[in-house]
Chain A
Amino acid sequence: MAINVRAKYLNKTEEMSFIDRLYLPAIVKGMFITMKHFLFTKAYTVEYPEERKPIAPRFRGRHVMKRDEMGRERCTACYCCQYSCPAECINIEAAEVTGDIRNNHPEDKYARVFEIELLRCIFCGFCQEACPKAAIYLEEFYELADYDDRSKYLLTKKEMMETEGKPVKYRV
């Protein structure tokens, strides 16, 4: 069996010329390229914690629950998000709206418990797409890393719900 050997072995080393042996022209050439980038081109990196890159308008970050124009919670616990969630990370418990909280909810039903397990969530945005009441959105917040406490990754309704007139307070 003939094996096709592609590699070529160089038997003789080429003699370097005098200029090559000086190394100086190569160093100057290299430094020229370095200085050209250093002084005359704009840096691609940003100073991350102080500076942030702009995110895409349809970026899917952490979940936010919205209120309607009258300040009431839009979510009516229809479970559409839970049904559509491929990671099964949403847990909802519905309850009847009675008494004092009636002003906070447009319908008879509301989500007494609304939890998202962030460690399971794959940020696909299906919940946002499924929501018939435009109540849940995946917004621009993306700094979700933490190091000590995993219970922080159970996103509760209180943390997700936007307060009236103010943007959502992020936890970290």
Chain B
Amino acid sequence: MAKITIDDKVIEYSGNPNLIELAKENGIDIPHFCYHPALTISGNCRMCLVEVGTLCKNQQTGEYEKDDKGNIKVNFMPKPQPGCYQQVSDGMVIRTNSERIIEARKGVLEFTLANHPLDCPVCDQAGECVLQDYSFQYGFSRSQFIEKKRTYKKNEISPVLTQEMNRCIHCDRCARFTTEIAGESSFARTWRGNKMELSVLPGGTITHNYQGNMADICPVGALTITDFRFKSRVWFLNYGVTLCTSCGKGCSVMTSHKKGKVFRLKPVYNEKVNTYWMCDHGRLRYRFLNESRKSGHSAGGKKANFQSALSLAAEILKASKNIGVIASAKESLETCMVLSRFFREVAPTAHVDYRVDDAQVRDDRSLRPGELLRAKDPYPNSFGAREAGLLPGQGGATAIDILGAPEKFDAVVLFIDDHIIEAGDRLGNMSKAKNLIVLSPFESSLDSTAAVSFATRAYSETSGTYINIDGIRQKYCPVLPPLGDARDSWDILNQLSGLMGKSFGLDSIGKIRSHFKLGD
């Protein structure tokens, strides 16, 4: 096994690792701006300078030369080298914290800050700004620069991003992302030297669906997301890791929230699914977690407490023989399992379906054309619902049939999710339904006409499992407290089963997982 010494720490490695990554894995932080593990190496920021040395070998004898104390002599290169470009080789000695390196970093930071405006009170990046952190950690508080700072004319590059070129440190990450990951060549470095500008090329536009990532990887506030502009300072936000539910891919995301309100989503590294990125479509759908949320149950258009709504729903389901069920693939695998069992054992019906839109799309495991992450399937758990068996039985009506003619059924159980609300017209006929039982985290016009309307928890407030288009099972945990009296869907179904005489006794997510053998 090859060995390398970083700051007196002997590290074993195999293959051909990047020095910054290798050091990071072993708890040594090499500061960097332009290096990003998913992009090609540019080596232009010069922040990751390290001292590189090799063991001193006598050419004639082939033995290592030793000093007075018996340690092997190390020959260091005359100048510091950029860590991101450094080819790691056996026996190499790296110093990341020597006096020379500290001095070099200070110099680099002073140059970087020479043209960087003191915009921190106005800049949205402040608080999560790499330059801010590094200049606090490695830089010094004065500058010898007395000239006027460089300024640019403000350009509008896209509706998703706000560009502030004055803050740019020319690290080139955004341009590399556009060409290498997003596959567009419209955004690049223009002009040269001090006047260099990251801009949309003449006649071009940024059209790809991954622009938010350019703001994420920007180490300073040169690119920020327009949607989050001036909404909140980042140090007031709390963070929680959950899944994106905007398509079948199920990217790992981080919510930034404050007082129960979500302000933005950011991608979280997940090697198997989304690596470092997420699409803008999913990024901007956090608004469904804030807008028109339902906090209380209702019966017959009036507010009702949970128990009375539950007993009313049980009466309806007991009395009706012909029940239509429109499930939602937004619900977790656990809920789908309980739902499937409920309508097999407690209130048997063949009219169960989750495919409220084009059924073909829901079997499709492919991505949209030209997309990196966004799947054709708009639901996060279509394959979970399929596994749970939420499909029409023999002679059963499909979801589109039920949505088209709900008056044919004695009772209709309807799960409303954000996609169906966004589509708008699909629920048009549902007000004709005789006994409508709605389970939804969102307010809708059907709350007034429905016999019973339950408030359920949105995915950010509950835990569960999604199966994505690649068949990967991903668990998620609640990141926000539930709204008002909202209950988990499986909890409502479990309590209904008790009221209808065939109690499941599945009153926790753990019991459901062990009962249906879904793992821990």
Contact = CB atoms under 8 A, between A and B. Distances in A.
- A and B co-occur in one complex: yes
A95 B231 CA distance: 8
A83 B235 contact: yes
Interface of A: 76-80, 83, 94-96, 107-109, 132-133
B233 A76 contact: no
A108 B121 contact: no
Interface string B125-155: 0100000000000000000000000000000
Contacts of A79: 233, 236
A108 B226 CA distance: 13
A77 B230 contact: yes
Nearest to A131: B121
A76 B236 contact: no
Contacts of B235: 83
Given A79-B236, A83-B235, A83-B236, A94 B121 contact: no
8 contacts: A77-B230, A79-B233, A83-B233, A94-B231, A95-B230, A108-B122, A109-B122, A133-B121
A156 to B, nearest CB: 20
Q: How large is the interface on B (under 10, 10 to 19, 20 to 34, 35 or more residues)?
A: 10 to 19
B10 interface: no
A80 B233 CA distance: 9
B236 A78 contact: no
B118 to A, nearest CB: 8
B420 interface: no
A163 B230 CA distance: 26
A100 to B, nearest CB: 18
Interface in B188-235: 229-231, 233, 235
Given A94-B231, A132-B120, 10 more contacts: A76-B122, A78-B120, A78-B122, A79-B233, A79-B236, A83-B236, A95-B230, A96-B230, A107-B119, A109-B230
Give the interface SS of chain B, mostly helix, strand, loop or mixed: loop
Contacts of B126: 78
A76 B121 contact: yes
B236 A107 contact: no
Contacts of A83: 233, 235-236
Contacts of B231: 94
Give the interface SS of chain A, mostly helix, strand, loop or mixed: loop
Nearest to B230: A94
Nearest to A78: B121
Most interface-central of B122, B126, B233, B236 (chain A CB within 10 A): B122
B122 A96 contact: no
Question: When A and B form their complex, which 3 residue pairs have the shortest distance between CB atoms, in order from nearest?
Answer: A78-B121, A94-B230, A107-B122
Contacts of B121: 76-78, 80, 107, 109, 132-133
Contacts of A77: 121, 230
A78 B235 CA distance: 11
A38 B236 CA distance: 61
A76 B230 CA distance: 11
A68 to B, nearest CB: 14
A80 B231 CA distance: 15
Nearest to A133: B121
Nearest to B235: A83
A155 to B, nearest CB: 21
Contacts of A107: 119, 121-122
A83 B121 CA distance: 12
A129 to B, nearest CB: 15
Contacts of A96: 229-230
Interface in B229-257: 229-231, 233, 235-236
Contacts of B233: 78-79, 83
B121 to A, nearest CB: 3
Nearest to A96: B230
Contacts of A80: 121
Most interface-central of B120, B229, B230 (chain A CB within 10 A): B230
A132 B120 CA distance: 9
A132 B233 CA distance: 15
A167 B229 CA distance: 34
Nearest to B231: A94
